[in-house]
Chains A and B, each alone.
Chain A
Amino acid sequence: MTPARGRWRQNVPLHFMLLPGLILTLIYSYGSMLGNVIAFQDFLPSRGLFGSDWVGLENFKYVYSLPQTGQVIRNTLFISVMKMSAGLIVPIATALLLNEIAKQWFKRTVQTLVYLPHFMSWVILGGILHDVLSPNGGIVNEVLGLFGIEPIYFLGSERIFPFVLVGTNEWKEFGFSTIVYLAAITSINPVLYESAVIDGANRWQQMLRITLPGMLPIIILMSTLSLGNILNAGFDQVFNLYNPSVYTTGDIIDTYVYRIALINGQLAVGTAVGLFKSVISFFLIAISYTMAYRYANYRIF
């Protein structure tokens, strides 16, 4: 045991470092979690969090019995998985492309510009997209028309709507993830590139052999974290873009619960669904964590 090892045993400072975060999380996150009891009550708000009658799994059974529940869960999963895939491919590709750029001013400008859509709320974007995607005069269809393609009713067609969700969401958010991946790329040791060049590797091979593997931990991390989000699928976006004729493919769990329960003040049902989603996400993350650790010896967190 080297003297350095002995130092590690002085872990008291570490506990102190964690203490403020621990206390705040205990109070505001765990304290708040207790409120999930609402899901098991015939909840009357004015009786407080714990004053209503206990009804066990009634609220869960109620949601289960609704005819659209299965459909809505399927929609959510489909849209989420598509979003997660796009959410990996587009930012990684963009980060890799940006990494190839030599002219700094171009790199910075593009990076700033692609982050801009993130700042616009879906309330505003909803209005803009309705115009842009209109089959009757919308820009996108005009451009498609130049290629001889018939106008597509993006926001009114059940088949296409989920893809519109994925595409527009990616457009809005890819700048965010690109930053994370760029940060990951910059922390790759330049020495690795230098020795690769000496060994005669071209840019493409460098990207495959060094850059991508160097980004892998962050890629796995971002994937896992987004896995925990898999039952969310983006309420704000769907709410501002959907309409009744695309409910069958575009209605997600959160928008459904909003229309069925929350708009009527049925908080217990909303909480029950939230709890259900959390449990599923928890299992997914736990499984990913275990698999990454067992098979890649990589601890996601």
Chain B
Amino acid sequence: MFGKKVSKGLASLLILAMVFLAAACSSDNDQATPASSSDVSTSTPDAAQSNNPSQTPAVALDGPFGKYSPEITVTTVRQVNPSGGKGMPGMDIDSNIWTDAFKKDLGINVKNEWIVANQQYTDKITVSMVAQSLPDFYEVNAQQFATLVKADQIADLTDLYDKYASDMLKGFLEYSGGGGLKSSTINGKLMAIPLNGGTVGNFDVLWIRNDWLKNLGLEPPKTMADVEKIAIAFAKDDPDGNHQNDTIGLGLSNELLSGYHSLEGFFNGYHAYPYNPAKGDGTTLTILKDNQGNPVWADTLPEVKTALAHLQSLYKAGAIDPEFNSTDGGKAGNLTTQGKMGMFFGRWQMATWPINNMKKNDPKVDWQAYRVPSSDDQPVKMLSPGGATTKFMVINKKAKNPEAVFKLANYFADKLNGPHQDESYHQVIQDGETHQVFTFAPIQVFAPNSNGIDNADIQEALKTGDASKLKPSAEVYWKGIQAYDDGKGDLGQWMWYAVFGPKGAYNLIQEIQDSESYVQTLYYGNPTPTMTSKGGALRDLEVQTMTKIIMGVEPVEAWDDFVEKWHKQGGDQILQEVKDSGQFK
């Protein structure tokens, strides 16, 4: 009988032990044991094995976070924006907090064989391919991915994925049906780690200047007919009150369907879903299903013609910029900041460009994003274009340690989202400049729908006033919204308010996603051979025809000719290839 004291002590010990055990079993990344955050190297399911001195070190300490000893070197190549401001002191892309961590925790020395400016990355990869000097792992686009598969130069990752991808990584990649993985799987074999794709969310919204609406005594549009009325009013009725006939009705660039000053939203209002940006490569086609379950190209459906007729009459009424056909995206942006445009369709990102500084320069400017209304009583569905994967991380067939790439990806996912989350690996503010430290990492796989999660958290925080649960990225937006203070504070922070505020554009995106009011391509494979070879010419044909119809140079019936030509000059082949690909839902 030791007394109540001892039994109390024993009981407490027991309880503590149970708590520890419970914590160990419930950690969301169950590949990592709750060791101290600096000791990732022992956090493997084979922890017992790794502590066993009789285990030969060189034989991989296996598993998604197994450390190599002795250290191995893997090579890769990178792209950067050389004019991207002053770098972080003490860090550059060759030597930084990530490379140090990889060495220390994973025993991997990551070496960059070359670094090139973003715009020439594709070229540099192509010439490196021909000169046969490629590193262990590197990023490629869809077209290069296809040629590498055909030439049998990259490794089969199917087994490596099962064995070495951490649960968190698998969660990210398999989210929402795993579209990225599907695009990376050829003939049943996983040939790359997808770095994007499989997401839904690039919907158009309708950006309107509320101050112009007020000046003309108009209400925000509830139908497409309202939209058209407003467009005409903005063009004719001097909405900026400067007594000059210098305003444009509906803002539009000659890229037609690019997501900025574009027409996707307009078409969606009429239940049409065309998509083929004039400066794109012509291979991002929206393939839908007809009543027999056969593939059909969205741009050839009859609703497109209906919408075109409305666009044609708008142009005739002077409500579309008569110079739109020679105005590219950049110029359209300039026209916007010069106060010539008051309404256009485009992505939520337009709040960051071009209208981000307009409020700061002129406080009465009041842009707001609205849902695209319907042209009739049918609810509108928005097009989510190009959700296909366009960035693939491939691993050289000759790489000695292909599984190392997965470990790097696992580590990245963990450092940004997992139990070892550390903001100094993500973003650091120094001397008033925000440094995106995460961009130093050689392979970056992000939690899907982070914007959606952030937005939801912020809306919650706006209601409750409790900002403690916000992730670091959401904190930035939150701080911006607070600083903006409903237009009474720092007007330079307007864009965060415009996107994530209570009336922000992202709420609209969320609504569309939650109510599943969107349309997406049903083909999730890579561009087919005919898409690649004929895509460019067909895209030109479409853009030219559309432009001519809008400008009234050709009648709306010309669209039927285009559809016929499309089918004959490669479209039928494309649809057949899609049908035969096995990657059509």
Contact = CB atoms under 8 A, between A and B. Distances in A.
Interface of A: 44-49, 62, 66-68, 127, 130, 134-137, 153, 155-156, 243-248, 259-261, 263-267
A243 B537 contact: no
Given A48-B130, A155-B326, A265 B540 contact: no
Nearest to A240: B328
17 contacts: A44-B151, A45-B144, A45-B147, A46-B151, A48-B130, A48-B132, A68-B540, A130-B326, A130-B327, A135-B323, A243-B254, A244-B543, A245-B326, A264-B281, A264-B536, A265-B143, A266-B532
A67 B323 contact: no
B117 interface: no
Interface stretch (B218-226, B298-306, B544-552): B544-552
B333 to A, nearest CB: 11
Contacts of B141: 265
B129 to A, nearest CB: 4
Nearest to B535: A264
B536 A263 contact: yes
Nearest to B543: A244
A231 to B, nearest CB: 20
A155 B322 CA distance: 12
B543 A68 contact: no
Those 8 A-B pairs whose CB atoms lie nearest each other, nearest first: A45-B129, A260-B536, A155-B326, A245-B325, A156-B326, A46-B129, A44-B151, A46-B153
Nearest to B143: A265
Contact of A264 (B246, B325, B532): B532
Interface of B: 122, 126-127, 129-132, 134, 141, 143-144, 147-148, 150-151, 153, 246, 254, 278, 281-283, 322-323, 325-328, 330-331, 532-533, 535-537, 539-540, 543-544, 547-548, 551, 569
A49 B536 CA distance: 25
Contacts of A247: 540, 544
A67 B536 CA distance: 12
A156 B150 CA distance: 43
Nearest to B141: A265
Contacts of A261: 536
B399 to A, nearest CB: 14
A81 B548 CA distance: 29
B547 A244 contact: yes
Nearest to A68: B537
A51 to B, nearest CB: 8
Given A45-B147, A49-B130, A136 B569 contact: no
A229 to B, nearest CB: 24
Given A44-B151, A49-B130, A66-B537, 14 more contacts: A46-B134, A47-B151, A130-B327, A136-B322, A136-B323, A243-B328, A244-B325, A244-B540, A244-B544, A248-B544, A264-B281, A264-B533, A264-B535, A267-B126
Given A67-B569, A130-B331, A153-B323, A266 B533 contact: yes
Contacts of B331: 127, 130
A134 to B, nearest CB: 6
A255 to B, nearest CB: 11
Contacts of B126: 45, 265, 267
A156 B323 contact: yes
A49 B150 CA distance: 16
B148 A46 contact: yes
A264 B147 CA distance: 12
Contacts of A245: 254, 325-326, 544, 547-548, 551
A128 to B, nearest CB: 11
Given A66-B537, A259-B536, A260-B537, A44 B325 contact: no
Nearest to A154: B326
A101 B328 CA distance: 44
Contact of A259 (B132, B148, B540, B547): B540
Contacts of B131: 48
Contacts of A155: 326
Contacts of B537: 66-68, 260
Given A44-B147, A244-B325, A264 B153 contact: no
A244 B254 contact: yes
A49 B131 CA distance: 8
A265 to B, nearest CB: 4
